Structures are given as C-alpha cells and as structure tokens.
Amino acid sequence: MSKRPKSITVVSWILIILGAISLVTSTITLNNPMAQELMAKSPIPVNIQYIMMYVGLLIMLVCGVAMLKGKNWARLLYVGWSAIGFVIGIATSPIKTAMIPGLVVFLIIAFFLFRPKANEYFKATQVV
C-alpha cells in the first residue's frame, strides 16, 4: 500500500471533525425559530431539507474515515454529493451569498483530493 499523503490525512480529519461538529450544532438548532423561518423560505419541504442535511453529514463522516483507509469511492462520493448539494443550494437558497465560503472550502478540498500524489494513493489502495 502506498503511503498516505499528508493532505489526504488533513482533509479526512477536517471532514470527520466538521461532520461531527455540524451534526451536534445542526441538531441543537433544529428548534431555532430563525433557522426554521429561513428553511421555510426554500421551495424544498423542511423535512426533506433535514433528511438531506443529516445524510450529507453522514456522508461527510463516512467519507472522511474511508479516505483515511484509501477508499477511492469515498472521495468520489464526497465530491459528487457536495457538488449536487451546491447546485441544489444555489437553485433554492434564499441567501445565495452565504454559500460562497462553503464553496471555496469545497474547491480547496477537491483540489487536494485529486492531486497526483492523492491519485497514486487511492489507485494503490484499490482492490485489483
């Protein structure tokens, strides 16, 4: 097995930590009237938004752990789910400018996930 690049270790742990923190904070804010009001402005029903949020956080956590183990499907799933989430967010969010910081972070993470050393690492850990 190829040695894991430090960038993959850092990205994976960022995903795990942010996913765990977001899981806690999102659950705490479920009853926040301001959050509920903002979510109600979206054309997507609130209960669907909650499902998408928790599935996304679960994907973030699982992908972070799986990337530490060199699973190529994890980086593809993370990038795919995030890209779809941003497209949906841009189409439905009442505050589109609030998505810019998350988009910048996503692009930086995607950059590190597909650098040559990362590609070698994920290719070397695939089952033949």
DSSP E strand boundaries for 55-110: none
For the chain, the farthest-separated pair of C-alpha atoms sits apart, in whole angstroms, at: 52
Which positions ≥6 away from 63 have C-beta within 8 Å?
A: 15, 74, 75, 77, 78
Residue 35's domain spans which residues? 6-124
pLDDT category of residue 98 using cuts at 50, 70 and 90 = confident
Average pLDDT value for the chain: 90
Please count the structural domains in the chain: 1
What pLDDT, on the 0 to 100 scale, is given for residue 58? Answer: 95
Q: By C-alpha distance, which of 110, 104, 103, 124 is closest to 75?
A: 110
Q: What would the mean pLDDT of 98-118 be, rounded to a whole number?
A: 93
Q: Is 55's pLDDT higher than 60? A: yes
Quick one: CA dihedral 30, 63, 96, 42, positive or negative?
negative
- Within a domain: 119: yes
What pLDDT, on the 0 to 100 scale, is given for residue 128? Answer: 53
Q: By C-alpha distance, which of 56, 67, 57, 62 is closest to 12?
A: 67
- Within a domain: 1: no
- Within a domain: 37: yes
- Within a domain: 20: yes
The pTM of this model reads 0.86
- Within a domain: 107: yes
